[in-house]
Structure 1
Amino acid sequence: MEAVPRNLVIVKEILSTYAKLTSLHINNAKCLFVPVAIPESAIPAYSSILNCVPREMPVTYLGLPLSIRRLKKIHYKPLIDAFKRKLDGWKAKYLSSAGRLTLVKSVLSALPLHYMQVLNLPTWLIKHLDGIRRRFFWKGKDKCLGGHCLVNWKRCCLPKKAGGLGILDLALQNQALLIKWLWKLKSEPYATWSTTILNLYGSLDIPSLSTNHLLSYGLKDILMYKDFFLASVATHSDNHEPLWRWSANGTYSSASAYSVLADPGTRTEYHNKLWILKAPPRVKIFLWLLLLNRLLTQQNLILRNWPANDGCPSCTGHEFETAMHLFVDCNFARNIWDLAQQHFDLPLLQFPSNLQSFWLNNRVRLGASWDTIWAAASLTIWKERNNMIFSQAANPPFLLLREILALVCSWNSMA
């Protein structure tokens, strides 16, 4: 309200009348008022009228820091603390990679959404929150060296159809949520938000507003995204109402904006087959890493300057262990594929020059049933390779085939 004594008295009388009618009395000890651009000399008189203490900005309002100035790092501490409280309550070491991914997507990525609907989060904060999410996903710990992150975080945040894991990109989601306010200016000119902007700055025209040097910090942050918004809005030919290009009904939604902002325009050949494969989610993540050549084979260990064996542990030769060698070219792997082919009565398998082609080319010939066989055999090869390295033990091929059969039967029975 305007800082005039008469206004303060009226508000106090309204609250007093409400208390008498409802028996819900005001607790003055929990009340405060926030003076904005008011002389220091007038504040004691206002405090006496309202019978509550003054408080300087920023203050917490509806769970968010409210301020007329740029927020400092300390003001974002409640959001960072919320992440820490969640992590402290989770037993990450008992979770699989799929379990951690679910928590990253459904919980950690949702925590800042309330802030992002109103505030343009600073770059340092988004990097900090991304670091928390990244460390939890890859290691389930507070610390995670770069070498432990098998795939670049930006790649992880790509949509699945573009080869990522579909983790929320916080910066792009922040942008999509703030653009909503530009849509309100365009589609709801008589709403409170729009009339407030009109009264303050004399215009609702977005290009004109962006040239106004008296804008608040919050409105400046929102207008940063005007170019994408203006390029995405058309005008209905009949009633001149705005139409959002990226939704079927022409109405703005942050989900539709995010899908456009996050789409790099590229597609992977396998995305629509990998994520519907009949296998547990943790196995799909393993296969995703395999197809991206990010498993910690000898080749990738050397690239990370980590200790590595001299030769492939799965064959008697001293071949350099790449993913292609381990899963396709190695005599050990070929033996596994031959046994699987004979047991499942498959035609002769093709062995092209890369992992994706090995899966997809044979899939064209053998159908979707090949997916589960390929996934189970690949996982078994990887587990046996690790068994050879860390336990210095090897299982006979017929036991490995039995394990593959058990996995295929179990996964095929999944809903």
Structure 2
Amino acid sequence: MPVYAMMSLDLPMKTIAGIEKICRVFLWKGRKDVRGGHCLVAWKDVCSPHEIGGLGIPNLKLLNLALRTRWGWLCRADPMRPWAEFNIQISEQARALCEAARGNGEALHFWYDHWLPEKRSLAYLVPTLLSEISGRASRLSVVEALHANGWLRAIHSELSFQALVDLLVVHDRVAEVILSDYDDRFRWKWSGNGIYTASSAYAAFFRGRVLAAGATEVWSSKAQTKCKTFMWLALKNRFWTADRLSKRGLPHPARCPLCDQSDETIDHLLLGCVVAREVWSTLLRGWNRLCWLPTLQASLAEGWTSLVVQGKKERRNLNTSITLICWCLWKHRNSVVFDAATPNARKIQQMIDSEGRAWSSAGIFHSVDFSLSCLVDFLWNVIE
């Protein structure tokens, strides 16, 4: 879908649903069409920014709204535009993104703009009253509404009890409002310079969401996209390990395929398993950080975010190294489950060495003076 089309058209939900279906099928199965049951993560979570636990794929509905907000913003911030006289509909969400400084009230919508001192709209404060009025009464500017109580005289319909209560609320809120002589001013409150950008409009729709533990560590690494996506799914516990298969009554191994001692969970497989701990122990000994050795009950998100290193470059290399190790542990687990391979910590180390050499040659590890010692150089010494 070209961006220019999304800037000008209000995409129907049917169109958005059709595009998202194609995206879902391609993301999870890499095919043109499949039947249901393949999505590992809800699509609304997939279409969220990285920092709140999403995959960063754009939410088409919100992106469409963010792009179209441009026209409403320009109509108000630059009314001299030749097309500004057209009656461009501005959504409530778009109005909420704009901060209004009340002046003479000529450009402010009485009901929908956020011109009150508490930066709320009357539509938000008195929804019942607004739902029961129509016509000119619902289209007043602030100056028209305040002049001789024009907002009150324009209401001719019979009101419910709650609407009458709302009417008194409006009367109290506007009774002492005094307009000035200068023009109303509008400021985009989601950017430092007060000017609209599509990226800031889109990001504003996700403000206030809870940050996802481990998201920064996953996406700041320099690993391949497929490896970062693997870590994203691991943090969400969305792999079909024995614990999740058991909950759904599906066939599953009774114990962890690597150690055959404990129930298999993603945290156990990558951190708490005897085989995994042997791999981690070997690597951490070379880094002189045995104190980082995961416990038997370790959580991937908590354990990863608790590690402290100095410098952004070192942090990035550490995150990349952890991604590499977990990726190789998972690949070895799949070999054991599907190819009847024998669990072997040394084979995992050899796999890490092979992958690490390739990653290092590709420039993924940015510095050989990594403060914890270079992962690849250490593995060469251990294995060779």
Q: Which residue of the other structure, out of 276, 281, 286, is the alignment partner of 1:333?
A: 276
Code of the aligned partner of 1:398: R
Quick check: 1:233–1:245 contact (8 Å CA) kept in 2?
Answer: yes
* Structure 1 residue 185: Cα displacement: 2.3
State the alpha-carbon separation in 1 of the partners of residues 310 and 97 from structure 2.
45
* Structure 1 residue 364: Cα displacement: 5.7
Quick check: 2:271–2:294 contact (8 Å CA) kept in 1?
Answer: no
1:263 maps to 207
* Structure 1 residue 306: Cα displacement: 4.4
State the alpha-carbon separation in 2 of the partners of residues 298 and 176 from structure 1.
42
- Structure 1 segment 356-375 matched on structure 2, within 5 A: 356-363=301-308, 368=315, 369-375=317-323
State the alpha-carbon separation in 1 of the partners of residues 96 and 213 from structure 2.
33
Quick check: 1:158–1:166 contact (8 Å CA) kept in 2?
Answer: yes
Matched, 1:242 2:186: yes
For residues 44-97 of structure 1, the C-alpha deviation after alignment (integer angstroms, 9 at most, x for no partner) is xxxxxxxxxxxxxxxxxxxxxxxxxxxxxxxxxxxxxxxxxxxxxxxxxxxxxx
1:320 maps to 263
1:118 maps to 8
SS in 2 for 1:134: helix
For residues 318-342 of structure 1, the C-alpha deviation after alignment (integer angstroms, 9 at most, x for no partner) is x321112212222222222222233
For residues 228-281 of structure 1, the C-alpha deviation after alignment (integer angstroms, 9 at most, x for no partner) is 415523239876442211122222222221110133522123222221213212
Quick check: 2:270–2:326 contact (8 Å CA) kept in 1?
Answer: yes
Sort the Cα spacing of 1:345 and 1:247 in 2 relative to 1 into closer, same or farther, 3 A.
Answer: closer
Larger displacement relative to structure 2 (384-393 or 177-186): 177-186
Question: Per chain length, whose mean CA-contact separation is higher, i.e. which structure has more relative contact order (CA < 8 Å, sep 6+)?
Answer: 2
SS in 1 for 2:223: coil
- Identity of matched residues, %: 30
For residues 185-215 of structure 1, the C-alpha deviation after alignment (integer angstroms, 9 at most, x for no partner) is 2123333322243xxxxxxxxxxxxxxxxxx
Sort the Cα spacing of 1:301 and 1:363 in 2 relative to 1 into closer, same or farther, 3 A.
Answer: farther
Code of the aligned partner of 1:322: T
Sort the Cα spacing of 1:380 and 1:192 in 2 relative to 1 into closer, same or farther, 3 A.
Answer: same
Matched, 1:380 2:325: no
Gaps of 5+ in 1: 1-110, 198-218
State the alpha-carbon separation in 1 of the partners of residues 29 and 102 from structure 2.
51
- Structure 1 segment 10-409 matched on structure 2, within 5 A: 111-197=1-87, 219=88, 222-223=89-90, 225-230=91-96, 232-235=98-101, 240-303=184-247, 306-317=250-261, 319-348=262-291, 349-351=293-295, 353-363=298-308, 368=315, 369-394=317-342, 396-409=344-357
State the alpha-carbon separation in 2 of the partners of residues 409 and 249 from structure 1.
46
State the alpha-carbon separation in 2 of the partners of residues 176 and 371 from structure 1.
33
Sort the Cα spacing of 1:133 and 1:264 in 2 relative to 1 into closer, same or farther, 3 A.
Answer: farther
Quick check: 1:363–1:371 contact (8 Å CA) kept in 2?
Answer: no
* Structure 1 residue 177: Cα displacement: 1.9
State the alpha-carbon separation in 1 of the partners of residues 191 and 97 from structure 2.
14
Sort the Cα spacing of 1:301 and 1:186 in 2 relative to 1 into closer, same or farther, 3 A.
Answer: same
State the alpha-carbon separation in 1 of the partners of residues 287 and 186 from structure 2.
58
State the alpha-carbon separation in 2 of the partners of residues 311 and 346 from structure 1.
30
Sort the Cα spacing of 1:404 and 1:353 in 2 relative to 1 into closer, same or farther, 3 A.
Answer: same
State the alpha-carbon separation in 1 of the partners of residues 260 and 49 from structure 2.
41
State the alpha-carbon separation in 2 of the partners of residues 341 and 255 from structure 1.
41
For residues 374-397 of structure 1, the C-alpha deviation after alignment (integer angstroms, 9 at most, x for no partner) is 222211111111001111012632
State the alpha-carbon separation in 2 of the partners of residues 145 and 302 from structure 1.
23
2:151 maps to none
Sort the Cα spacing of 1:256 and 1:361 in 2 relative to 1 into closer, same or farther, 3 A.
Answer: closer
SS in 2 for 1:148: coil
Quick check: 2:187–2:194 contact (8 Å CA) kept in 1?
Answer: yes
SS in 2 for 1:275: helix
Once superposed, what is the RMSD of the aligned Cα atoms?
2.8
SS in 2 for 1:233: strand
Sort the Cα spacing of 1:323 and 1:400 in 2 relative to 1 into closer, same or farther, 3 A.
Answer: same
TM-score using structure 2 length: 0.65
Quick check: 1:126–1:171 contact (8 Å CA) kept in 2?
Answer: yes
SS in 1 for 2:85: helix
**How many residues are paired up?**
280
Quick check: 1:373–1:404 contact (8 Å CA) kept in 2?
Answer: no
SS in 2 for 1:249: coil
TM-score using structure 1 length: 0.61
State the alpha-carbon separation in 2 of the partners of residues 236 and 322 from structure 1.
57
For residues 131-167 of structure 1, the C-alpha deviation after alignment (integer angstroms, 9 at most, x for no partner) is 1111111111133444321111111111111111111
